[in-house]
Amino acid sequence: METINLSERKDINLQDLDLSDPKILDSIELNKSDYRKGLITSIIFTAIAIFVFFVPVSFNGKQGQIPFGIIYTGVQNILGNFGLAIVAIVIAGNAILSIYGKYIAKEGTLYEYYKNDSIIHPILYSIGGVYIVMFVLNALLGVPAPEIIIGAKTGQMVIPPIVYGVACIIPVGAFFVPFLIEYGCIDFLGIILEPLMRPLFRTPGKSAVDAVASFVGSASMAVIITSRMYKSNNYTEKESSIVSTCFSAVSVGYASLMIGTAGLGEQFSKVYFSSFFLAFIIAAIMCRIPPLSRKKEVFYNGRPQTDEDREAEAKLEISPRMLKVGIDRAAKKAWISGNIFYRIKDSLIGGLAIVPKVITLLCAIGTTSMILVEYTELFTWLGYIFYPLVKLVGVSNALEVAPSIVAGITDPFIPILIISDKVDIIAEAARYFLCLVAMVQIIYVSETAVVIMTTGIKLSFKEIMIIFIERTLIAIPFAALFMHILY
């Protein structure tokens, strides 16, 4: 590819550069001054991101608190009931507008926002709207509402801590995520992982960036990015299927909420990095078994992938040169990204755009799931499917843990919600095990499953359900192994 000297070429629109393509980054040249500026910017912003998302600190007498968790919890506490009322308005408004946008509008903003939703989405939005209105009117004004919806083990367990919590997590996360993904940190990590991707996961080296980025952004956004890569002929049908179902993992913010609810907040780094490692182990297995192994090695435009295509990918040996390339990419990416405030603005716009759908689905599916848990034996009976395996691998409290594992199909947080009122009873090791499994199941109907099916990735609902079961069966023994090593 032709070398581009951005320090001299002022006629190039930086927004037109596809920085997700490593070849473009490698073709860029900067003068010493701009390179130094980019490198310093990358180091500073990466340090900020690492501190915010990963460094445990002492706060209000509590050890092991993650700054990100402190910040979003603080926002939630400051807004209080006013914030809860705003959340209710957003969810109820989303429920009403979805019907118009999906079934009535033929063009315009609302049509574009809801056009890719499935038929079931407006129904779920409406259920979420009913739940939140009943709950908030009861909580703030004392209006009577059914106990089955607003009860201590149903609505109260989902709406204030989870729905409201996620409504705060997404914008706060959107504010800080650019520090991690826009200024070279992900590009540096991507080059470190690049030599491993094709032999281990049967995906191109560039998917290393997708894989790492999915852990710090929204799972749905990770799937959307993968879909864009597929439709631009960067991934084949098989590669896009692997990346979307194996690397679209729980984000840092959501993981913080899950781990804290499980009573393991002071062990955040241990749990989160365990899930990071386990997700890659599962991915290495999943890509080699059906249905993923049987997906076509064909690009979106219909062109079959050849051996030459795979051999043409840049291959780097694990060496000091690889580190040099990673540092160069980080410096260039940071220089091109420019003003952090513009990146934060764009990130906030994107983050706020998904808030209505995410919190409405979480309200509907989360509350309904807790109703099923509290008032039916559904998950208990389904849990017996996994009980023998959970018992076999030596997890204590297996009877309490197994039903929660099945609930992971609804949303990754639901398994944790189910045992949240038993934190003092269930062993710490068992809670660690459940967190780990829930965080790597990845496929859940409240978000990723639907997004995968509506963005053009070639996976059917049946295949997605099979992948969920396979991931869970693989995760259980490995999570148990980690548990026995660490506890």
Over residues 415-449, the pLDDT tens digits come to 898 888 888 999 999 999 999 999 999 887 766 77
pLDDT at 212: 58
**In whole angstroms, how far apart are CA 177 and each of 52, 82, 149?**
10, 26, 35
pLDDT of residue 105: 87
142's tokens: 């004392």
Domain boundaries, the chain: 22-234+314-355
**pLDDT value, residue 209:** 60
Q: Across the strands, what pairs with 59?
A: 62
Nearest to 73 by CA among 199, 169, 171, 138: 169
Return the structure tokens found at 319.
């060496």
The SS3 call for residue 362 is helix
Contact 242, 458 (CB under 8 A): no
170: left (phi over 0), alpha (psi -120 to 50) or beta: alpha
Sole residue written with tokens 């208990």: 380
Predicted confidence at residue 312, as pLDDT, reads 47
Identify the three-state secondary structure at position 411: coil
Q: Residue 368 and residue 228: Cα distance in Å, rounded?
A: 33
Residue-level pLDDT at 131: 97
pLDDT of 355: 87
Spell out the per-residue pLDDT of the chain, length 487, in tens.
556 666 566 556 556 666 656 667 777 888 889 899 999 999 999 999 889 877 888 888 777 678 888 898 899 999 999 999 999 999 999 999 999 999 888 889 999 999 888 888 899 999 999 999 999 999 999 999 999 999 988 899 889 988 898 888 888 888 988 888 788 887 787 677 767 777 888 887 667 666 655 555 556 666 766 777 787 777 889 999 998 898 877 777 778 888 988 999 889 889 988 998 999 899 999 999 999 999 999 988 888 887 766 654 545 556 677 788 889 888 988 998 889 999 999 889 988 988 898 889 889 988 898 898 889 888 788 888 899 999 999 999 998 899 889 888 877 888 898 888 888 999 999 999 999 999 999 887 766 776 787 667 889 889 999 999 999 999 999 999 999 999 9
- Distance CA(255)–CA(271), nearest Å, equals 9
